[in-house]
């Protein structure tokens, strides 16, 4: 990269200068150090194989650029890393699948609760019947067993839904 600039010295002499520098940060620090000595940058250009770019002369006030640029680069890397995670097509696909999974869990919980309600009604009907012989007790025990099974399934589905919700929160950031 080539740094070219025109500066006015403290004795009001115009100086034209050009040099090869390896990095933009070094070029900016060179220009800033010139203004620190009291000279004024009038025009500055950076040239490389991609073309030439004029630098704003008023940006050089004697303060070094390197530390600020490295901090800015780190902040951008963090921001870009977060943005990429949030907008990547894979994550959008996982987000959509996770939302569908949560909906399926909600539907399944609703179905199980409806089944539990119906089983409880059947159980109460048999329990409230006039005769309670061995057949009715066997049916009540069967309904109790089914109720326990369905309640256990509700707990399992709720746990699965909770995990899916946590995953969705993670994917959304």
When pLDDT is averaged across residues 48-53 and rounded to a whole number, the result is 84
Task: Examine the pLDDT at 70 and tell me if it is beyond 70.
Answer: no
Please state the rounded mean pLDDT for residues 12-28: 82
pTM, two decimal places: 0.48
* Phi-psi sector, 62: left (phi>0), alpha (psi -120 to 50), beta: left
Q: Where in the chain is the domain with CATH 1.10.287?
A: 88-172
Q: Flag whether pLDDT at 120 surpasses 90.
A: yes
**Burial classification of residue 91, based on how many CB atoms lie within 10 Å of its CB (0-12 exposed, 13-18 middle, 19 or more buried):** middle
pLDDT at 47 over 90: no
Of all helices (H) and strands (E), which one includes residue 46?
Answer: strand 40-48
Percent of the chain with pLDDT over 90: 28
Q: What is the CATH number of domain 88-172?
A: 1.10.287
């Amino acid at each position: 990269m080539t740094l070219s600039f025109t500066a006015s010295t403290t004795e009001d002499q115009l100086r034209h200068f050009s040099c090869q520098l390896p990095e933009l940060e070094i070029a900016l620090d060179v220009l800033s150090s010139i203004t620190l000595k009291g000279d004024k940058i009038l025009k500055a250009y950076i040239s490389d194989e991609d073309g030439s770019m004029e630098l704003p002369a008023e940006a050089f006030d004697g303060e070094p650029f390197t530390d600020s640029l490295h901090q800015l680069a780190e902040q951008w890397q963090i921001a870009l890393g977060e943005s990429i995670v949030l907008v990547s097509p894979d994550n959008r696909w996982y987000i959509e699948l996770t939302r569908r999974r949560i909906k399926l869990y909600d539907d399944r919980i609703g179905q199980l609760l409806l089944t539990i309600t119906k089983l409880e009604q059947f159980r109460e009907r048999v329990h409230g019947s006039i005769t309670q012989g061995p057949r009715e007790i066997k049916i009540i025990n069967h309904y109790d067993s089914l109720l326990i099974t369905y309640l256990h399934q509700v707990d399992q589905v709720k746990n699965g839904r909770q995990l899916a919700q946590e995953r969705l929160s993670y994917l959304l950031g």
